[in-house]
Structure 1
Amino acid sequence: MEDWIIRLVEWGHYWGVALLMLLETIFPPIPSEVIMTVAGVSSARGTMNLAGTIAAGTAGAMLGNWIWYWVAVKFGEKRMQIFIERYSRWLTLDWNEVERGQRLFRTHGSIIVLIARMLPTLRSLISIPAGLFGMTFRRFMIFSTIGTAGWTAALACAGYFLGSQFKDVEKWLGPISTLVIAGIVLTYVWRLVRWKPSSVSKPLDARSDTHPEA
């Protein structure tokens, strides 16, 4: 997979890095581990500036983060409840569970977003609960940018200082990403087998519509 990534980075430079990180955020199977380490190698060779490379990667990823956040906000909490009630068996959760997660997110949403931005797969997905659970756009952008910049900087610097040995980074991060994805899949299967609905929660309109900042 890294061959076409290398070609796009060499052809598009900063624009190529930003585009790849945008795609990686929207389609998580595209590995940012490879994108940013390749970009870091290019920076070490003088093709690009390291700071510019990190900025381009962060900007591309943040655009993708904003897209997911916007989609979640537009989808809305009421549509979410209808969707969950209709497909609760296959989603392995009901509205009571969502409300528990919602309370947790509204209390610790900022730190959850910050940490998730530096974890495989969750980097992209965390934008959805942030938008659905009423996290303010300002807080979302601040903590997402900090976490995203930290992740892209770490990978770019690894590629920059390792030079042509950037595959050593992928050798470790690749299996970690695979383990995280496998853990998510296994957890879903386990929940699918054991899941039973809890008591029916009261209708959305009957609850308070207040949304304190996360």
Structure 2
Amino acid sequence: MNFFSLFTAGILVAQAGSTDGSSGGWLTQLSDWAVSLMDIIGPAGAALAIALENLFPPLPSEVILPLAGFAAARGSFTLAEALIWTTAGSVVGAVALYWVGKLLGRERTRKIFSKLPLVDMNDVDRVEAWFDKNGPKTVFFGRMVPIFRSLISIPAGITGMPFWQFVLLTTAGSAIWNSIFVLAGFYLGDNWHIVEQYANTFQRIVIVVVILAIVGWVIYKILKRRREKVTSTDER
């Protein structure tokens, strides 16, 4: 199978995943597709698969990343290459969506995404509301939350978030998330699929940490404002 046939097969697998209620069959196909992609073009295949995961949310990073680690463990490429290339792929996919939002604006971007079979507009609305409420830091934490991981780039682009800040936060969040799953696949070897069983637990932990961080930030702002008010009163 040549590269372009393999690329098309990956898109078809993603479309099947969005319409097929049984995850077992299409996830097996996805695993085979990702392994073949990495075998043909090496670590760049892992980068491409993760870039596509940003653009097509049904492609789960919880499967692709451990496979990259597994491929590194069996000598297809080095562990360092797996970590670097998957992070690069995450950033490239995120940047593509950032520029879609920035260049097209909110209404045209929403119109395009509403016509894509792989995107739920309710998810887009939730991500947009989360970004509006919590600002740029959601780009960092969003890289470790399902669905948000892909879609958080859109409101960042629409609102004109500084590009350097977006890339920095995206790279940092992606590096943490990718390293955890790539390393798990590398050390688990043939049992890489065990990672998927614990992915949801890890994601819940991340969400709790995000909520606590936001609450802590709000409390800090309230206390700071009260101190400033007391200082202002004393000076009078």
Contact conserved, 1:33 with 1:174, CA < 8 A, in 2? Answer: no
Q: AA paired with 2:48?
A: L
Q: AA paired with 1:115?
A: F
Contact conserved, 2:128 with 2:155, CA < 8 A, in 1? Answer: no
Match of 2:59 among 3, 27, 30: 30
Task: Give the Cα separation in 2 of the matches to 1:174 and 1:50.
Answer: 24
TM-score, with structure 1 as normaliser: 0.67
TM-score, with structure 2 as normaliser: 0.61
Q: Does 1:146 align with 2:191?
A: no
**What is the 5 A alignment of 1:190-209?**
none
Contact conserved, 2:131 with 2:138, CA < 8 A, in 1? Answer: no
Structure 2: segments with no counterpart, 5+ residues: 1-29, 112-120, 204-236
Q: AA paired with 2:145?
A: L
Task: Give the Cα separation in 2 of the matches to 1:103 and 1:67.
Answer: 20
| Matched position secondary structure for 1:46 | coil
**Cα 1:76–1:171 shift into 2, 3 Å:** same
Contact conserved, 1:37 with 1:158, CA < 8 A, in 2? Answer: yes
Partner of 2:194: 168
1:52 deviation in Å?
1.0
1:102 deviation in Å?
6.6
**Cα 1:100–1:40 shift into 2, 3 Å:** closer
Partner of 1:130: 156
Greater helix share, structure number: 2
1:134 deviation in Å?
2.1
**What is the 5 A alignment of 1:52-91?**
52-76=81-105, 79=107
1:101 deviation in Å?
6.1
Q: AA paired with 1:133?
A: T
1:172 deviation in Å?
2.9
Partner of 2:21: none
Q: AA paired with 1:59?
A: A
Partner of 1:51: 80
Task: Give the Cα separation in 2 of the matches to 1:40 and 1:98.
Answer: 29
Q: AA paired with 2:36?
A: R
Deviations 1:166-185 (A, max 9, x none): 010122327988xxxxxxxx
Q: AA paired with 1:154?
A: I
Contact conserved, 2:51 with 2:91, CA < 8 A, in 1? Answer: yes
CA RMSD of aligned residues (A): 3.0
Flag the structure with more relative contact order, 1 or 2, with Cα contacts below 8 A and sequence separation at least 6.
1
Task: Give the Cα separation in 2 of the matches to 1:152 and 1:128.
Answer: 21
Partner of 1:120: 146
Deviations 1:144-200 (A, max 9, x none): 1100111111110000111111010122327988xxxxxxxxxxxxxxxxxxxxxxx
1:46 deviation in Å?
2.1
Task: Give the Cα separation in 2 of the matches to 1:98 and 1:23.
Answer: 19
Number of positions where the alignment pairs a residue of Structure 1 with one of Structure 2:
163
